[in-house]
């Protein structure tokens, strides 16, 4: 019997963590909510949830040294998945209601307000994944659940061989913004897979299928 991949959900003070744990378990993971640094570093996969303001999420990550855990995992090629504001903070900066906050800088770019007549962007929407996306394999036409007012609107990270080409997924609400990114060991979604029903479970399952179980 093949063991279920161990996925740590980083508990650093952000909300919405328990629904993520349940969804990951339904998708086939041994999902554990944890603030334990060793477990977060050594798990097969790490999920970084995030709700609320960019500045508050970055402050909580730094206070718990969660940013260091993410850096160390990625330096070793260990998979990380960011969700919602957990995706936004991976970019260089976030500008939110006049507050300009430095992000983790894993990807260049600035997270800014979505240019739409009604905010937040809340509810179900379709997405446009790149050909060859692993996350969206078999669910390219599905809808996903969004709750946000800010997003990254451009991708500017140059990639040359031997590095793999990032797979970008876009969504349109007022303007186009990045709904998901797959960039080597680092993936992220602006929407909430844990709130996206069967399509969200299948996306998480696609991510889990790419993890290599360890003996933890």
Mean local confidence (pLDDT), 69-95: 97
**pLDDT tens across 161-216, in order?**
777 889 999 999 999 999 999 999 999 999 999 999 999 999 999 999 999 765 44
Q: Which residues, other chains included, contact 78 with Cβ-Cβ below 8 Å and sequence gap of 6+?
A: 41, 45, 46, 185
Specify the higher pLDDT residue, 27 or 15.
27
CA distance 87 to 17: 15
Q: Is 84 among the residues known to form the active site?
A: yes
The 3-state DSSP class for residue 59 equals: helix
Residue 38 to residues 42, 44, 72, 185: CA-CA distances in angstroms?
Answer: 6, 12, 11, 19
Q: Is 192 among the residues known to form the active site?
A: yes
The 3-state DSSP class for residue 71 equals: helix
Residue 2's pLDDT is what?
58
Residue 214's pLDDT is what?
56
Q: Which residues face 180 on adjacent strands?
A: 169, 189
Enter the pTM of the model: 0.95
CA distance 42 to 12: 17
Catalytic residue among 18, 84, 171, 198: 84
Catalytic residue among 140, 148, 192, 198: 192
Task: State whether the Cα torsion 19-23-26-32 is positive or negative.
Answer: negative
Mean of pLDDT over the chain: 94
CA distance 45 to 208: 8
Residue of 196, 204, 215, 192 lying closest to 79 (CA atoms) = 204
CATH number of 6-209: 3.40.50.880
Catalytic residue among 102, 148, 194, 198: 194
**pLDDT tens across 35-78, in order?**
999 999 999 999 999 999 999 999 999 999 999 999 999 999 99
- Could you tell me the residue ranges of all domains in the chain? 6-209
Q: Looking at the predicted structure, is the pLDDT value of residue 1 above 60? A: no
CA distance 208 to 195: 17
């Amino acid at each position: 019997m093949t063991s279920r991949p161990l996925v740590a959900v980083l508990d650093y003070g952000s909300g919405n963590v328990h629904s993520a744990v349940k969804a990951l378990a339904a998708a086939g993971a041994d999902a554990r909510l944890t603030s334990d640094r060793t477990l977060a570093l050594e798990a097969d996969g790490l999920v970084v949830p995030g709700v609320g303001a960019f500045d508050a999420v970055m402050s909580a990550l730094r206070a718990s040294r969660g940013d260091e855990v993410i850096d160390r995992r990625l330096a070793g090629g260990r998979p990380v998945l960011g969700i919602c504001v957990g995706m936004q903070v991976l970019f260089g900066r976030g500008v939110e209601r006049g507050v300009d906050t430095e992000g983790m800088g894993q990807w260049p770019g600035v997270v800014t307000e979505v240019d739409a007549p009604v905010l937040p962007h809340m509810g179900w929407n379709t997405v446009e994944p790149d050909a060859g996306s692993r996350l969206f394999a078999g669910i390219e036409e599905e809808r996903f659940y969004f709750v946000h007012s800010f997003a990254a609107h451009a991708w500017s990270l140059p990639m040359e061989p031997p590095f793999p080409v990032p797979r970008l997924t876009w969504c349109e609400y007022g303007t186009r913004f990045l709904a998901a990114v797959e960039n080597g060991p680092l993936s992220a979604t602006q929407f909430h897979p844990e709130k996206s029903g069967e399509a969200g479970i299948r996306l998480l399952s696609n991510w889990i299928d790419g993890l290599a179980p360890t003996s933890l």
